[in-house]
Chains A and B, each alone.
Chain A
Amino acid sequence: MTLIGAGVPRPDAADKVRGEARFVDDLAFPGMLHARVIRSPIPHGRILRVDLSRVATHPRVHCTVTPDDVPGENVVHVIYDDQPALASDVVRYVGEPVALLAAEDRESAREAETLARVDYEALPAVSDPLEALRPGAPVVAVPAAAEGRDESPNLFNRMRLVKGDVKRGFAEADVIVEGEYRTGYQEHAYLETQGAIAVPEEQGAITIYGSLQCPFYVQGAVAKVLGLPLAKVRVVQTATGGAFGGKEDVPSQVASLAALLAWKARRAVKLVYDREEDVLTTSKRHPSVVRYKSGAKKDGTLTAIEVDFVYNAGAYQTLSSAVLWRGLLTAAGPYRVPNVGIDGRSVATHTVPNGAFRGFGSPQVIFAHESQMDSLAERLGMDRLEIRRRNALRVGDETACGQKLKESVGVLETIERARELSRWEDRLRAVAAFNASHPHRRRGVGVSSVLYGVGLGAKSPFLDKAGAYLKLEADGSVTLAVGTVEMGQGLTAALSQIACDALGIRIDRLQLTPVDTTRVPDSGPTVASRGTLMSGLAVLDAVKKLRARILDASNGLGIPEEEIPARLNEIARSFFLRNLDPAVEGWAHAEPVDWDPETGLGNPYFVYSYATHVAEVEVDLTTGEISLEDCVAVHDSGKILNQGTASGQVEGGIVQGLGFAVTEEIAEKDGRLKVKGFTTYRIPTIRDAPPSPTVEFVEALYSPGPFGAKGLGEVPLMAAHAAIARAIAHAIGKAVSAYPLSPERVRQALAS
C-alpha cells in the first residue's frame, strides 16, 4: 500500500462539511463566564486612574481583574517579556489591554464594559518607524527590549549580514539599479477570530482550550502570568479556523487574559474576540521600507547587493526579532550573490505589535529583490526569466550568507518548469497583441522566484524538535498524538498518511487525537512550514519502534511479515493478552544549524524550499482596477505527501498574496488604525480569484525529511504577491514601489 503522494481525503474534513467540527466558541463548560477586555483608546499615555466600581455593580458581572490581581508576572511571555498582560502605568498602543471583566453572559459583559472608567494623561506618540528613530522622538520601547538602545531608544533590533566586498562588487558591475519599496499592514483575516477558554482544574491546575498554533507557547505564557509550574498548565487545541501566523504569539495573550479571570473567578471563562476587536488589536504583517541596490554584469550575473530595510514592529517586541532575522536571510533571494551587505532594523512605534504572518518578514524583501531583478533585466535588455535562471542557486553553491547547499535545491527546475507551463514566450507575445488592440486595458506578465529556509533555524534552534505518541489498541486500531496542530493546512492528512502507510493500515483505523500538551513533550510551534517535516519525522520514529515490537510479536505468533497488516488485530490482541507494552514515543530534532550574529554568516537553516510563480494580470487604465487572469505556480518543497492538500495550500497562498499586493490596506493616522472589521478590510473574494491556476511540484528530495519532504505552507504567498506586482508593473510600463497596488495607486503610477 502506498499512501504517500496520493490525494488521500483529509480525515478532518467530514466533520467540517457537516458543521460538526468544534471551534472554541462552540464549546461551553459548566458555570462558564464571558470575558471582555477594557482597552486603551489612545496610542500613548499614562494611566491616571482605573475605576471599575460601576462595572462591579452590574448585576451579572462576576469579577474584574486589574494588574494588582496578577498572581505571577504581569507579562505576555513571548521572547523579551516586555509586553504586560495588563498595562499598569503606561499604555503604548490603541487597544492595549488595561483591565478585564467576566460576566454571566456575553451581552452583560458587553454592557458592563461601557461602565469602566479609565483616565489617561495623553503623551506624544510616534507611529512611523523612521520618525521613531530620530533623536528626540517619543520613546516607545521598554529599555530592556531595545537591543539597539545605544543607537536609538526605539531600535528593537539591528541585524547585519556582510559577505565579500560590496564596493568591489559594484565596481565590477556593468549596471547598477536602485529602488525603494514600501509595504503596508496585512491582517491575517482568519475566518475564526481569536478565542480561548480557561478552566480552573483540581489541585491548583488550569486547562486552556483555544484556537492556536503553538500550544507550548501558550502553556509557558499562562504558567508565567499565573505563577504556576508548567505541569499545572494544560493546553488543548480546538478546531482552528485559520491562523497564518496570526495564532502564533497572540493566543498567548488571549489565553493569559482568560486565565487571569478564570483564576480569580474560580470558574471557566471564555474570551472570544469580535471581528472589529480582532482586526484592531491583534498582530499584523510588519509595514516596511526597503532600500535595495543591485549590480550585475552584462550577462546578467549578479555582482553585489546592498539592502537596508526597516520594519515597523509596533509597541512591543513579540516576535519581531525573529521576523527581522528571516528578512535578513531572505533578502538576497534564491540567487548567487558574491558580495552582500544587508542591514535590517525593527523599530518600536506606538502601534499594535506586529508579529508572524505567512512568510514571516520575507514577503517585504521579496517584493524588493524581485523588482530589482526586473530592473536589471530591463537595463540589460534581458529576458526576466533568463536573468533569474542565470543567477539561480544550484547544488554546491553558496547562499548570500555563505551556506554551502549540499542537496535539494530545486529553484532552477521551478524556473524552467514555470517557463514551459506558462508558455512564457507565447504569453509575452499574446499580451503584447492584446495591448495593441485594447486602448483602455493592458495586460502584463510577471515572474517571481523565492527561497524559504524551512523551520526556525539558528535563531531558535532549540525549538526545532517534535514528539509523537503512538499506541496500538487491543483491536489493531491505532491512536496517534503529536504536538503540532491542524489549522487548515492539512497536517492531519499528512501525518495520518505517514503513520498508516508505514503500518499498512487504513486511514480510518487511525485516530489523530486533538493536540494536548500533556500527551507529548514540547514539540515547538506550528510555524515556519515545519509541521509536516518535524512531526512527520517524529511519527516515523514512533512507527519504527512500534513496528519492531509488532514484528517480534508476529514472529511469536508465526505470522509472516506480509500478512501483518491484514492480521494486525490478532497481533494487537496478543500484546494485550501477553502484557506487552503497546505504546511508543517518537522523537525528532532538526539537523544542526549555526549563525554568527557578528557577520550574519553561517548555516542558518537546515534546508530551503523554493518556488517560481508566473502571473498574468489585466489593468483597466481608466479605473486602475486590476484582475488576476492567471497564475502558474511551481514549487520545490521536496516530496509532496498529499497532492490535494498541497495544491490547496498553493491556491490559497496565491489569493492571499493577491490580497497583500492589491486589495488589502489599513490606513493609520496618529497611531490609530482606520479599519472596521471586514467592512473596510477587503480580502479577496471568489470574484478576485484567478479562474484556474496551474500548480505543479518539482520534488528535489531532502534526504533527512520524511520521504524527502521539506516545507510548503508559507512559500505560495511569498512567491505570488511579487509575481502579481511585477505583472502589474509590466502591464502599465511604470515602476511600482508600494503595496497595496490599489486602483488609486495604479492611477497615480500611470499619471507619473
Chain B
Amino acid sequence: MKISLTVNGAQRAFDVHPGDTLLEVLRREGYKGVKKGCGAGDCGACAVLLDGRAVNSCLVLAGKADGSEVLTIEGLSKDGALHPLQEAFLDEGAVQCGYCTPGMIIASLDLLTHHPDPNEEEIREGIAGNLCRCTGYTKELRAIQAAAEKMREARHG
C-alpha cells in the first residue's frame, strides 16, 4: 500500500507492506539516523517525533502513520546549523559511541517542547525510556539542562 508522510518538512509517498513498522520504512528510505536498538520498544534508539510527540518508531505500524508529520534526527539542524540540543550534547561531552544519541536527542526535544523549564526529576522521567550503555547519563542530563536554558533564552530573545 501507499502512504504519505511529511518527513523533516518534505512531503513524501512510500510503498509499504502492511506489517512494516515506521522504523523499517524510514531506514529503508534513507533516514539512517533513526537507530534500531531492540525493535521491541525497550530502548528508545528509534525515537522520532510523530506529529510533534516522541514515539518509538519500531512500535508504530507505518500504515497507521499515514498522513502524519515525522521529524527524524536528520531534520533537526537547520541549514547546517545544529539545534541547541545537538550543540549541548557536543559541548557537554554527552556522546560516546553515539548509537543512543539520535533517540536521546529526539526524546529530549519532545520533553523541552512540552516542559521548557524541567527540573532534574522531570528530565529523568522524560528520557527514562532511552537506554544508554556508555555515558552513565551524567553528561546527557547536563546537556539537556544546558539546552533547555539556551532554548528558553532563544525564545525570550
Picked from A648, A687, A689, the residue with its CB within 8 Å of the CB of B93 is A648
Whether the pair A275, B136 counts as a contact (CB closer than 8 A) is no
* Complex interface: chain A residues within 8 A of B127 (CB): 686
Segment touching B, from A21-29, A393-401, A597-605: A21-29
* B43-62 to A contact mask, C-beta < 8 Å, 1/0: 10100000000000000000
* B84-123 to A contact mask, C-beta < 8 Å, 1/0: 0010011101011111111001000000000000001001
Give the residue name and chain of the A residue nearest to B34 (CB).
A19
Find the residue from A25, A648, A677 having the highest chain B CB count within 10 A.
A648
* A553-569 to B contact mask, C-beta < 8 Å, 1/0: 00000000000000000
* B118-155 to A contact mask, C-beta < 8 Å, 1/0: 00100111011111111111111100000000000000
Residues 190 to 245 of chain A near chain B (Cβ within 8 Å): 190-193, 239-244
Q: A244-B133, A654-B136 are in contact. Are A23 and B35 (CB under 8 A)?
A: yes
Give the distance to chain A from B18, nearest Cβ to Cβ, in Å. 12
Whether the pair B131, A655 counts as a contact (CB closer than 8 A) is no
Whether the pair A20, B33 counts as a contact (CB closer than 8 A) is yes
Picked from B37, B39, B98, B141, the residue with its CB within 8 Å of the CB of A239 is B98
Picked from A17, A679, A686, the residue with its CB within 8 Å of the CB of B95 is A17
* A248-281 to B contact mask, C-beta < 8 Å, 1/0: 0000000000000000000000000011100000
Whether the pair A13, B73 counts as a contact (CB closer than 8 A) is no
Segment touching B, from A76-84, A309-317, A482-490, A515-523: A482-490
Give the distance to chain A from B58, nearest Cβ to Cβ, in Å. 10
* Complex interface: chain A residues within 8 A of B13 (CB): none
Distance of A230 Cα from B33 Cα, bound (Å): 34
A692 within 8 A of B: yes
* Complex interface: chain A residues within 8 A of B39 (CB): 274-275
Whether the pair A191, B133 counts as a contact (CB closer than 8 A) is yes
Residues 1 to 60 of chain B near chain A (Cβ within 8 Å): 17, 31-40, 42-43, 45
Count of interface residues, chain B, beta-carbon cutoff 8 Å: 53
Q: A191-B132, A240-B97, A686-B128 are in contact. Are A19 and B140 (CB under 8 A)?
A: no
Give the residue name and chain of the B residue nearest to A15 (CB).
B98
Whether the pair A241, B93 counts as a contact (CB closer than 8 A) is no
* Complex interface: chain A residues within 8 A of B136 (CB): 648, 650-656, 689, 693
Picked from B36, B102, B134, the residue with its CB within 8 Å of the CB of A488 is B134
A9 within 8 A of B: yes
Distance of A191 Cα from B46 Cα, bound (Å): 11
Give the residue name and chain of the B residue nearest to A681 (CB).
B42
Q: Once A and B bind, how many residue pairs between them come within 8 Å at the CB atom?
A: 171
Distance of A237 Cα from B26 Cα, bound (Å): 25
Distance of A107 Cα from B33 Cα, bound (Å): 21
Distance of A189 Cα from B125 Cα, bound (Å): 22
Whether the pair B40, A191 counts as a contact (CB closer than 8 A) is no
Distance of A693 Cα from B120 Cα, bound (Å): 15
Give the residue name and chain of the B residue nearest to A685 (CB).
B128
* Complex interface: chain B residues within 8 A of A13 (CB): 89-90, 93, 95, 98
Give the distance to chain A from B106, nearest Cβ to Cβ, in Å. 9
Give the distance to chain A from B86, nearest Cβ to Cβ, in Å. 4
Q: A648-B139, A651-B136 are in contact. Are A16 and B93 (CB under 8 A)?
A: no
Give the distance to chain B from A82, nearest Cβ to Cβ, in Å. 30
* Complex interface: chain B residues within 8 A of A98 (CB): none
Whether the pair A241, B77 counts as a contact (CB closer than 8 A) is no
A691 within 8 A of B: yes
Count of interface residues, chain A, beta-carbon cutoff 8 Å: 60
Give the residue name and chain of the B residue nearest to A16 (CB).
B98
Distance of A508 Cα from B54 Cα, bound (Å): 34
Give the residue name and chain of the A residue nearest to B144 (CB).
A686
A308 within 8 A of B: no
Distance of A21 Cα from B96 Cα, bound (Å): 12
Picked from B17, B31, B38, the residue with its CB within 8 Å of the CB of A677 is B38
Distance of A275 Cα from B44 Cα, bound (Å): 13
Distance of A18 Cα from B86 Cα, bound (Å): 7
* Complex interface: chain A residues within 8 A of B38 (CB): 275, 677-679
Find the residue from B36, B132, B136 having the highest chain A CB count within 10 A.
B136
Whether the pair A686, B96 counts as a contact (CB closer than 8 A) is no
Distance of A537 Cα from B89 Cα, bound (Å): 30
A163 within 8 A of B: no
Whether the pair B73, A18 counts as a contact (CB closer than 8 A) is yes
Give the distance to chain B from A660, nearest Cβ to Cβ, in Å. 12
Whether the pair A7, B93 counts as a contact (CB closer than 8 A) is yes
Q: A192-B35, A677-B38, A689-B138 are in contact. Are A16 and B133 (CB under 8 A)?
A: no
* Complex interface: chain B residues within 8 A of A650 (CB): 136
* Complex interface: chain B residues within 8 A of A23 (CB): 35, 99
Q: A651-B139, A686-B137 are in contact. Are A192 and B93 (CB under 8 A)?
A: no
* Complex interface: chain B residues within 8 A of A693 (CB): 136, 138
Whether the pair B86, A17 counts as a contact (CB closer than 8 A) is yes
A501 within 8 A of B: no
Find the residue from B36, B74, B91 having the highest chain A CB count within 10 A.
B36
* Complex interface: chain A residues within 8 A of B95 (CB): 10, 13, 16-17
* A652-692 to B contact mask, C-beta < 8 Å, 1/0: 11111000000000000000000001110001011101111
Distance of A690 Cα from B135 Cα, bound (Å): 12
Q: A10-B95, A25-B36, A191-B43 are in contact. Are A656 and B138 (CB under 8 A)?
A: no
Whether the pair A19, B93 counts as a contact (CB closer than 8 A) is no
A645 within 8 A of B: yes
A179 within 8 A of B: no
A12 within 8 A of B: yes
Picked from A9, A18, A26, A652, the residue with its CB within 8 Å of the CB of B134 is A652
Picked from B101, B129, B137, the residue with its CB within 8 Å of the CB of A655 is B137
Whether the pair A678, B101 counts as a contact (CB closer than 8 A) is no
Distance of A683 Cα from B86 Cα, bound (Å): 25
A644 within 8 A of B: yes
Give the distance to chain A from B37, nearest Cβ to Cβ, in Å. 5
Give the residue name and chain of the A residue nearest to B120 (CB).
A691
* Complex interface: chain A residues within 8 A of B82 (CB): 17-18
Give the distance to chain B from A17, nearest Cβ to Cβ, in Å. 4
Distance of A191 Cα from B136 Cα, bound (Å): 13
Find the residue from B17, B97, B99 having the highest chain A CB count within 10 A.
B97
A14 within 8 A of B: yes
Picked from B32, B40, B128, the residue with its CB within 8 Å of the CB of A22 is B32
Give the residue name and chain of the B residue nearest to A105 (CB).
B28
Distance of A193 Cα from B97 Cα, bound (Å): 13
Distance of A685 Cα from B135 Cα, bound (Å): 11
Whether the pair A16, B101 counts as a contact (CB closer than 8 A) is yes
Whether the pair A678, B99 counts as a contact (CB closer than 8 A) is no
Picked from B40, B90, B99, B141, the residue with its CB within 8 Å of the CB of A17 is B90
* Complex interface: chain A residues within 8 A of B35 (CB): 23, 191-192, 241
Give the distance to chain B from A104, nearest Cβ to Cβ, in Å. 14
Whether the pair B138, A651 counts as a contact (CB closer than 8 A) is yes
Q: A19-B73, A275-B39, A686-B140 are in contact. Are A242 and B93 (CB under 8 A)?
A: no
* Complex interface: chain B residues within 8 A of A190 (CB): 97, 99, 133
Whether the pair B93, A644 counts as a contact (CB closer than 8 A) is yes
Whether the pair A656, B133 counts as a contact (CB closer than 8 A) is yes
Give the distance to chain A from B100, nearest Cβ to Cβ, in Å. 5
Distance of A648 Cα from B140 Cα, bound (Å): 10
Distance of A20 Cα from B75 Cα, bound (Å): 11
Picked from A189, A243, A488, A644, the residue with its CB within 8 Å of the CB of B98 is A488
Give the distance to chain B from A76, nearest Cβ to Cβ, in Å. 25
Give the distance to chain A from B42, nearest Cβ to Cβ, in Å. 4
Distance of A96 Cα from B137 Cα, bound (Å): 35
CB<8 Å pairs between A and B, sample of 14: A10-B93, A13-B93, A13-B98, A17-B89, A18-B74, A19-B101, A23-B99, A191-B99, A191-B132, A242-B97, A242-B134, A275-B39, A488-B96, A644-B93
Closest 4 CB pairs of A and B: A19-B33, A16-B98, A488-B97, A241-B99
**Further pairs besides A15-B98, A686-B127: 9, Cβ < 8 Å:** A7-B93, A17-B73, A19-B31, A19-B33, A192-B97, A488-B97, A651-B138, A685-B129, A690-B138
